[in-house]
Structure 1
Amino acid sequence: MGEITYRHGWRQRDRRIEQDAIAAWEAHGALPQDVTPEERAQEICCAAYDGDRLAAISTVEIKPCRPLRNRRFGYLRVFTLPEYEGREIAIGLAIHCRDALEAWSKDNPDEKLCGMAAIYHSPKLGPTPVGKSGLTLIGYTPEGYQHRVVWFRHVRV
């Protein structure tokens, strides 16, 4: 395995990234039954590559964050191919997504995107209240999962 490189794909409709992501999701059954790979591909934020091979992919869904008075956040999802798990690639994707979303938020103020959020479904994630990506624990979902956010620096409350 080589050096991991990160490629931005937020709102770019990068055909190569989309094709690689769809192939990975389908090969590993990574999507819920009610979501098509083509729909999810429209939410691609960043991709991690090992040379020409996809190692991980992130998607973002913009929606209200209920605990924060329904302000709009980009909810991050990451799928890491099994052979790349444990290499902190998800942290790199989170950092690159945060930066891409923050720049997009500044350029598109009418979207009112306040930050990035994530629900940590894996108990392996989130041993500290503030992660390397800046995602900070703000509470738990009714199912007991960690709910985390990072605010963008230009946002005012």
Structure 2
Amino acid sequence: MYSSMRSKEEEVEALAQSERSDIIGISETLGDETCEWSILLNGGYRLFKRDRQGRRGEGVSVCVRERLECMELTVGNGSVESLWVRIKGQTNNVDVIVGVYYRSHSQDDDIDKYFFEELRDTSKSPALVLIGDFNLPEINCEHHTVL
């Protein structure tokens, strides 16, 4: 299933070059240093990452263009697979909070509760972008329905 982080790295880097995105969120990154995202970093991005040590295929990252003033936020108790970055407002001086979240298929209700607390705390910002892999069993993505 986690065939090659290298292929994910190449796919993200190709997308960054073709789309010229200011912000890129990545879920299910590896917790080792085999991927350095060199093209992103050399291409003017600042990398924020949170890896789960000792578990393969888990972790989240956010890449933000270097020209944007930003900082990682410390949110929650570390049990949630999430990463939050505040980007200083460019228009109307409104800061944007960007969150990247990964929810495993087997995640228990306690971790869900911690995530909702993080979301509550960060959603006080007037501008919030949340991206990720939510793996909610009630959602059927193929048919766009909720059970």
Q: TM-score, normalised by structure 1?
A: 0.32
Greater fraction helix? 1
Normalised to the residue count of structure 2, the TM-score between the two structures is 0.33
